[in-house]
Amino acid sequence: MTTQEQDFPILIIGAGIGGLATALALQQAGFAVQIFERTKEIRESGSGLTLWANAVRVLQELGLADLVQQLAQQPAPTRAGFYTMRGKQLVQLPPRTVEEQCGGPTIAIHRAEFQAALRERLAPDTLVLDKQLIDLEQDTMGVTACFARGERVRGSLLIGADGIRSQVRQLLFPQSQPRYAGYTAWRGIATGVTPPLMGELWGCGRRFGIVPLAKERVYWYATCNSPENAAERPEGRQKELLDLFKGWHPVVSTLINATEASTILRNEISDLQPLTYWSKGRVTLLGDAAHAMTPNMGQGACQALEDALILARTLRHAHSQENALDMYQQKRLARANMVVVNSHRMGLVAQWEHPLACWLRDSLLALTPPQMLLKQFKSVASYTWESSC
């Protein structure tokens, strides 16, 4: 690394999980880092998040084993898998078996609590709020981030970790736009309920997922096929969901009713067509900004954490920061894009609407040996990156 590069910090745009984890990894590697977040204040909102074994290993590599231990302090459900809308089990995937196959535990955590835990471990004054990026300029020696209200900040590199609607990606690759997956998702946290099952219930064009959290909470999510930009119903999200999932297993309405109506989140599900490269000069992308994926494999945050670790390790061992960005994308591009494609395909099948197609899907799933399903998850969650570094 040149003397000029050492004179400026690495700039990170976005204080989500990917941006925070990258800052932590870079600080541990000895780099000066500054994170810029467009919001004026950190609001503790959000729903659940699943960290598969690959993400847990990243946290351990970052010296956050205590955080992993804290998150893991919850009883593991014994019954999990895929079910019909009325609760008939199609395939059983016991969490203990998944852990054995993937080489580590899968942890469910509240997203806001996880982000807060990452922020607490940053060096003082790393995070700057109310900074909206509008442009960037770069030369052979560094990059300048241009913010609203005319402020300019110089850095050695700039990392776009600003989500699926990334301003950094828009500046680098304006042709890359989110693509609508064809369905809307609702998410919530229920309290005071012990669900009799864990996993996903599948209907025609609709799904309902159940993931127990610590502190006697349950993270749930629901999906329904709908046109893009469909208006919300005037009766409210809770009432709409109770209508959409009427006749399903009783646990569904129980969880919806056990959730504070004002906290239910609603988002249209989108992802990105895989990019062929993420970096230009001294600027690169990370997390959803680079490879936003549908949530069907539970790998969005997990892949962002992998990005953070690989980028920091590559920069630490590189002679040139600019060359390190090319090496980083070479190590991460194919794997992340593979997860994007597989997650998109899984969502297409899971959201089938025609009753005959759904009956055939469910029948085939019920005949599929659990080991075959575990193999697909294992190929992602049991990944090790030592050979990439």
pLDDT digits (tens, 9 = 90+) for 156-195: 999 999 999 999 999 999 999 999 999 999 999 999 998 9
β-strand partners of 224: 184, 206
Angle of CA points 189, 190, 192, to nearest 5°: 145
Tokens of 55: 């993400």
β-strand partners of 185: 223, 267
Rg (CA), the chain: 21
Neighbours of 353 (CB within 10 A): 12
Say whether pLDDT at 77 is over 80: no
- Given a contact cutoff of 8 angstroms between Cβ atoms, the answer to whether 67 and 59 are in contact is yes
pLDDT in tens, 232-246: 999 999 999 999 999
Say whether pLDDT at 321 is over 90: no
Band (218; pLDDT cuts 50, 70, 90): very high
Tokens of 24: 């932590």
Say whether pLDDT at 385 is over 70: no
- Given a contact cutoff of 8 angstroms between Cβ atoms, the answer to whether 135 and 148 are in contact is no
pLDDT at 75: 57
- Report the range of poorest mean pLDDT among 4-18, 27-41, 109-123, 222-236: 4-18
pLDDT average, residue stretch 375-389: 71
pLDDT in tens, 244-301: 999 999 999 999 999 999 999 999 999 999 999 999 999 999 999 999 999 999 999 9
Residues in Cβ contact with 123 at an 8 Å cutoff, skipping those fewer than 6 apart: 27, 33
pLDDT at 1: 52
Say whether pLDDT at 44 is over 80: no
Distance CA 338, CA 351 (A): 20
- Given a contact cutoff of 8 angstroms between Cβ atoms, the answer to whether 47 and 113 are in contact is no
**Architecture field, domain 3-178+271-388:** 3-Layer(bba) Sandwich (3.50)
Band (387; pLDDT cuts 50, 70, 90): very low
Domain ranges of the chain: 3-178+271-388
Residues in Cβ contact with 42 at an 8 Å cutoff, skipping those fewer than 6 apart: 15, 116, 119, 129
- Given a contact cutoff of 8 angstroms between Cβ atoms, the answer to whether 188 and 266 are in contact is no
pLDDT average, residue stretch 138-144: 94
The label of the residue with tokens 């369905």 reads 183
* Residue 87: C-alpha distances to residues 90, 210, 339, 346 (Å): 9, 12, 28, 20
Phi/psi-derived region of residue 87, left when phi > 0, alpha when psi is between -120 and 50, beta in every other case: left
Q: What is the DSSP code (8-state) at residue 150?
A: G
Across the chain, mean pLDDT equals: 91
Phi and psi dihedrals of 183, rounded to 5? Answer: -145, 155
Say whether pLDDT at 3 is over 60: no
Element of type H or E holding 206: strand 206-213
Helices and strands, number each (H, E), in the chain: 14, 17
**% of the chain with per-residue pLDDT over 90:** 75
pLDDT in tens, 115-136: 999 999 999 999 999 999 999 9
Distance CA 365, CA 201 (A): 12
